[in-house]
Structure 1
């Protein structure tokens, strides 16, 4: 509408100037003018969607923005180890240049699809050309976030300390706070929040939302309430994210009454309009509390709140209807989704196939997998893993092996989870050496930095080694956990301790049984 209004004003000004330049003004009635020039029929919508003109008209013939082309080159690199810099250098060697806006837009797209290492490489390429690109505090905050995800929190801290004072503002402090929260470093996060309070950087909702997320993940729900109380006491407006996190916290405590009270307060807050995320949060919590009728009611409200061409709500709907066990609703939402969008990304197929597998409609899942194979731009092992895991869990070992061969034949590169699923199948068949071999492949995969083996699978492998008196294989997996740094995790440390006790009856070390913690973590990740 803003674009139409602007266009309308431009046409009116043009008409006025032409009229004034004529020696003899024409008398045109308002009615005639409206019939002659119908501004509302200007084909603006087509212009924006087809050429990404961002407000320009078709006759300008502006080409598709160049960052899109560079993004595709980076995403489809045959040798990812060459990095984004190789693509950017090649682009410039072809006589083309990229503006800072285009590079930042490229980074945004890479971050959107979790290609954090590639996004960081773009910033590093820009850093090496300081005479061309002047980086702001916002850029520094994004780099800090990427560094924490790609190289760890210690490297992110070093980056922050080396920043010049003019780049240390609420954005870079907020990025470091977010990094601490991601790594669940509670003491450092609380200390940094105090610093932000003293510097008056905590005068808006964002840092409180981040801390509320930390406390919720640590199950310290009373501190979530304290954050809300502090915001109210300091007249800091709760935003939509504050309310949604607060709703989640109440739901995770199993209190539908408290959650509904928060929702009522949210509705009464005239500055807030509940969005689809609000109702998907309510649906998720009602499902956890087995209040399925209320969950379905919330899911219907999710659909009524979808605005524009946003695909993500449909992914949530597909997943949540699968959790409720409503197969017909999964297919209905899927058909609606396909009718709105001409192409469906891998995430969409992952959502629907995952739901059908969860419901037990394996035939439907297999059909949609075949459909995805015919339209995919690249093979996503996460989608293949859904069927592979179902075959393994249902004891169909031969089909699992055949499906794994099929994945390789269609250029599907196995990821760490693929190898772990195969290891799980070998453990079920009591094949220790084959299972250990798959675990080794999982730890060696290039994406293993962001992967952790499921504690239940680690525990089952240790139990099998204990039953078969295979100390060497048990120690081999322990060494893999140590090399990856997972042995410091409480759950894995507990499992390693239990394994050591089982293998050495003279070991009197007191070790906590982590099985209950394991179950809790698995439930939280569903």
Structure 2
């Protein structure tokens, strides 16, 4: 019986008992890409925006033209840019290729974007093939830079360095973006000592570093616990006339000091960060998170009040962030109050918000309270996402209450139909599998197996 379940798990979830991670206290719901809401004047994007990520956009573009509507290069470029910003790379590539095959003007810069998208969607070999197919006169600094970015994303240090050297020889290494790519590669590969070398080389070649250049270098110094050099880079950054200091840079510095245990220095830069936030809700979310790391509830609540005053409205992301910070410092009662506030004003019930409190309860061992809260929501007509029930199931598993874990897992699979991309965590299934092994609940196990089969077909 258990072996039947194991075979299905291996087939449908690439699951193995030996590699299953230990159960974590939190379970992650599927990531849903936010749909862009931008609307252009002639409304073409309003047709594209609501479509699923797997939908082909070519018929949409063809139909738009067949209806006699006009298309301009600038409009399609903005659509490609918006799709890229929302990580809808495949659709962005479709629009780019449709544009290149049309009678519209397709610039070398458009071609560089297309190369970047090919690397994202079809892989490095396709990107290199596309690059090699271009005539020499079509290869400018942005084309070379796009291929460099493909190498960097693949973590290919030698190829990236060699390609960058060729760009220098051809006079194409003229943008901070390309040096930043190389610095990111060294940082991600753990070669922190080489990041400042790239910054020095950049300045030597007459390229002015931008904010990102300095930030990545400060992070590299911090990773080596060289806070003195990090401070020198910050001072240099502040002295540059072409750079406007913003909250992001000071937030990074404050976080570095927090992690280093230097509270007083962290507070200095948290104040500087606050001075630069203005009406940016994301800035407030970051600042509140830093004070949560310091365990400073008073400052968290003060900033939450300022965020309400200065920003137009609180969205779900802000509540999720603030509630998560309150859970982090163990303030579950304040989290409960915030959930009630959100419920009284929300337009759409987003279970990611109450999930924060469910996780908080489970972390404190209050599994029964978490389950009671979730069942109360069901009574009020709310339909939980699978992840909500799996949080409770994981909590019971953590307390060795397998009967309840199995029961909540069945609840999870019962609401899975509307969340077809969601998959059970292997660690959770592993725990249940270990429990049913040797049990004789034939009907229950077979029903559970059928649910997993349905899950795999979806």
TM-score, normalization: structure 2? 0.69
Partner of 1:340: 310
Partner of 1:140: 111
C-alpha separation in 1, matches of 2:142 and 2:424: 31
Partner of residue 301 from structure 2, selected from 318, 323, 331: 331
Partner of residue 275 from structure 2, selected from 293, 300, 304: 304
Could you give the per-residue CA deviations for residues 340-374 of structure 1, whole angstroms, max 9, x where no partner exists? 33234443333323222222233433444455456
Q: Does the CA-based 8 Å contact 2:141-2:174 persist in structure 1?
A: no
Partner of 2:248: 277
C-alpha separation in 1, matches of 2:42 and 2:193: 46
In the TM superposition, what is the alpha-carbon distance from 1:147 to its structure 2 partner? 4.2
C-alpha separation in 1, matches of 2:72 and 2:385: 35
In the TM superposition, what is the alpha-carbon distance from 1:280 to its structure 2 partner? 1.0
Compare CA radii of gyration and give the structure with the larger one: 1
Report whether the alignment pairs 1:318 with 2:288: yes
Question: CA 1:413/1:160 → structure 2, altered by over 3 Å: closer, same or farther?
Answer: farther
C-alpha separation in 2, matches of 1:401 and 1:147: 46
Partner of residue 101 from structure 1, selected from 61, 70, 74: 74
In the TM superposition, what is the alpha-carbon distance from 1:263 to its structure 2 partner? 1.8
Could you give the per-residue CA deviations for residues 450-470 of structure 1, whole angstroms, max 9, x where no partner exists? x997xxx85x98799899999
In the TM superposition, what is the alpha-carbon distance from 1:171 to its structure 2 partner? 1.6
Could you give the per-residue CA deviations for residues 63-105 of structure 1, whole angstroms, max 9, x where no partner exists? x96269555554444x554344565566667664443323332
C-alpha separation in 1, matches of 2:66 and 2:347: 27
Partner of 2:331: 361
Q: How does 1:515-526 map to 2 (within 5 A)?
A: none
Report whether the alignment pairs 1:256 with 2:227: yes
Q: Does the CA-based 8 Å contact 2:270-2:287 persist in structure 1?
A: yes
In the TM superposition, what is the alpha-carbon distance from 1:332 to its structure 2 partner? 2.6
Q: How does 1:75-94 map to 2 (within 5 A)?
A: 75-77=49-51, 80-85=53-58, 88=61
In the TM superposition, what is the alpha-carbon distance from 1:402 to its structure 2 partner? 6.0
Partner of residue 66 from structure 1, selected from 40, 46, 49: 40
Q: Does the CA-based 8 Å contact 1:427-1:435 persist in structure 2?
A: no
Report whether the alignment pairs 1:240 with 2:211: yes
Report whether the alignment pairs 1:123 with 2:96: yes
C-alpha separation in 2, matches of 1:136 and 1:452: 46
SS of corresponding position for 1:203: coil
Q: Does the CA-based 8 Å contact 1:117-1:150 persist in structure 2?
A: yes
Q: Flag structure 2 segments of 5+ consecutive residues without an equivalent.
A: 1-37, 439-458
SS of corresponding position for 2:55: helix
Q: Flag structure 1 segments of 5+ consecutive residues without an equivalent.
A: 1-63, 471-526
Q: How does 1:444-523 map to 2 (within 5 A)?
A: none
SS of corresponding position for 2:225: coil
C-alpha separation in 2, matches of 1:70 and 1:377: 27
Question: CA 1:155/1:396 → structure 2, altered by over 3 Å: closer, same or farther?
Answer: farther
C-alpha separation in 2, matches of 1:418 and 1:190: 46
C-alpha separation in 2, matches of 1:247 and 1:418: 39
Partner of 1:288: 259
Could you give the per-residue CA deviations for residues 168-194 of structure 1, whole angstroms, max 9, x where no partner exists? 322232233223333333233223222
Partner of 1:179: 150
Q: Does the CA-based 8 Å contact 2:83-2:89 persist in structure 1?
A: yes
Question: CA 1:326/1:76 → structure 2, altered by over 3 Å: closer, same or farther?
Answer: farther
Number of residue pairs the alignment of both structures matches:
395
Question: CA 1:345/1:400 → structure 2, altered by over 3 Å: closer, same or farther?
Answer: same
Partner of 1:428: 398
Partner of 1:49: none
C-alpha separation in 2, matches of 1:189 and 1:461: 41
SS of corresponding position for 2:317: helix
Question: CA 1:463/1:423 → structure 2, altered by over 3 Å: closer, same or farther?
Answer: closer
C-alpha separation in 2, matches of 1:384 and 1:68: 39
Partner of 1:195: 166
C-alpha separation in 2, matches of 1:68 and 1:391: 49
SS of corresponding position for 1:201: coil
C-alpha separation in 2, matches of 1:155 and 1:223: 30
Q: How does 1:147-226 map to 2 (within 5 A)?
A: 147-226=118-197
In the TM superposition, what is the alpha-carbon distance from 1:279 to its structure 2 partner? 0.6
Q: Does the CA-based 8 Å contact 2:192-2:224 persist in structure 1?
A: yes
C-alpha separation in 1, matches of 2:348 and 2:125: 34
Q: Does the CA-based 8 Å contact 1:379-1:412 persist in structure 2?
A: no
Q: Does the CA-based 8 Å contact 1:117-1:146 persist in structure 2?
A: yes
SS of corresponding position for 2:155: coil
Q: Does the CA-based 8 Å contact 2:193-2:220 persist in structure 1?
A: no
C-alpha separation in 2, matches of 1:413 and 1:373: 17
Q: Which has the higher contact order (CA 8 A, sep 6+)?
A: 2
Q: Does the CA-based 8 Å contact 1:426-1:434 persist in structure 2?
A: no
